[in-house]
Amino acid sequence: MTYDEVRPPVPETVDAGLATHPLVGRPGKIIAVHLNYPSRIAQRGRRPAKPSYFLKPVTSLAVSGASVERPLGTELLAFEGEIALIIGRTARRVNPDHGWSHVAGVTAANDLGVYDLRGADKGSNLRSKGGDGFTPIGPSMISAEAVDPARLRVRTWINGELAQDDSAATVVFGFGELVADLSQLITLEPGDVILTGTPAGSSVVVPGDLIEVEVDVPDSGLTSGRLATAVTEGSTPLPEYGAQPMADDHQRIEAWGSAEAAGVSEVEELELTDEMINKLRQISVATLASQLRKHGYNQLFIDGVHTNHPGHKMIGRARTLRFVPAREDLFGSHGGGYNAQKKAFDALNPGEVLVIEARGERGTGTVGDILGLRAQVRGAVGIVTDGGVRDWAAVAELDIPTFSAGPHPAVLGRRHVPWDSDLTIACGGASVQPGDVIIGDDDGVLVIPPAVLSEVLDDSLVQEAEEEWIAARVADGESVDGLYPLTGAWRQRYRDQNSTEGS
């Protein structure tokens, strides 16, 4: 059966420029993978254990040759050249070996997104990646029966200059695996589109730029043709009743692909003042996590670590240390003597937190009593490791807290080689850069990019004040309906009371 025989019909009443496409008609859904290519994963500094996804509206579809508007007032429209899978047969709870058989064909796609609008999405990518014309695909389809998916290649050109070039043979999650994974809970239907991730090279485009994406099988003659999209400037401002564009240096680095390309410093200079620290002492990690999510940051919690100092809050600037998996020859060259681990502890300064990447490996210690004492003497305010801790009781007796995955008596070389320090690392699933603000309490540890600290602090204090007022009402016997969170009459009552107290 060919795809033309299973492709859903195009409704005549639907605007073909927005909701239909000559390759897919009007698909039920467009599903995009967050991270899949190792080259892109290396840029992002985090490797997903399993695939994760987001949805794009059908109205974001566009054809080759169409233009895309960069919304007025935004600066960070980024392209992402991708291989798009077009589903040809219904898939429900299929296994990975059969996933590819449900694909009718592949084509080129551009997963466009506006990073200035990520803060309003709270992780959904709806506004940032769902705009009209933000998913051009085409112009032609390569039959899935004719290709080995691992031989597919995706390339992107900006104004004729090659910007992306990578092979599907490198992806972490194979295309048949993606189909199978999605089909466990979501029925995939003919015409549905799956965007399989973008390689390194994605960056910002501006009005006047021409983006071209092509998927092909090298040396075979099989190609999607070049998918061309011209960038234009929008003319209609976003209304004030909706969330406004917000760009900071973190978003600029994410959009451009690197700090150098974005023209900003990799480590935002920030003085963590006594005033800031006093504010942070009033705010729980839970509240800060909630506010960071509202600002578009969803990957900043260090999972799986717990404090050995209950009731003690840790606040400081990050220094980083990375371990790599144990290998006899590497431990022989890097494990002994004055190694990277000892140098990192010796280099700590007052007010700093040493954050250690141990890959979540709990089967050995990553810090013990001597090095913990050295951190304390140097004036450090805490240690965070997603690995184990030796000499658990002695480390717990130190003045500074250690957040870890728990105790383990084994020495370092059983699982780790101390490798390097003062670079971007992954700890407990979160990317951590030297200079990030680290805060920990009984709920866990949170990473705060310096660029957003001041704004998050003020918003968090407002939230804490509201919740304290709500808790007092609940203690008086009030129902939480409309009270938590504050809505309607309760919010007005809160405003009135605080306005009276402030006058």
Binding residues for Mg(2+): 391
Q: Letter for the amino acid at 120? A: A
Cis peptide before 237 (omega within 30 of 0): no
Instruction: Say if CB 66 and CB 135 are below 8 A apart.
Output: no
Q: How far apart are CA 381 and CA 348, in angstroms?
A: 10
352: helix, coil or strand? strand
**Interior/surface letters 386-423, b for 16+ CB within 10 angstroms, e for the rest:** bbbbbbbeebbebebbbbbbebbeeebbebbbbbbbbe
Instruction: Provide CB contacts within 8 A for 156, sequence distance 6+.
Output: 79, 81, 110, 162, 163, 164, 165, 201, 202, 211, 212, 213, 214
Picking from 313, 270, 198, the residue whose alpha carbon sits closest to that of residue 433 is 270
Instruction: Provide CB contacts within 8 A for 134, sequence distance 6+.
Output: 56, 60, 62, 68, 111, 112, 113
- Binding-site residue positions for substrate: 368-371, 390
- Binding-site residue positions: 368-371, 390-391
Question: Residue 472: in which H helix or E strand, if any?
Answer: helix 453-475
Q: How far apart are CA 485 and CA 436, in angstroms?
A: 30
The β-bridge partners of 78 are 113, 204
- Tokens linked to 348: 């700590």
Q: Letter for the amino acid at 382? A: G
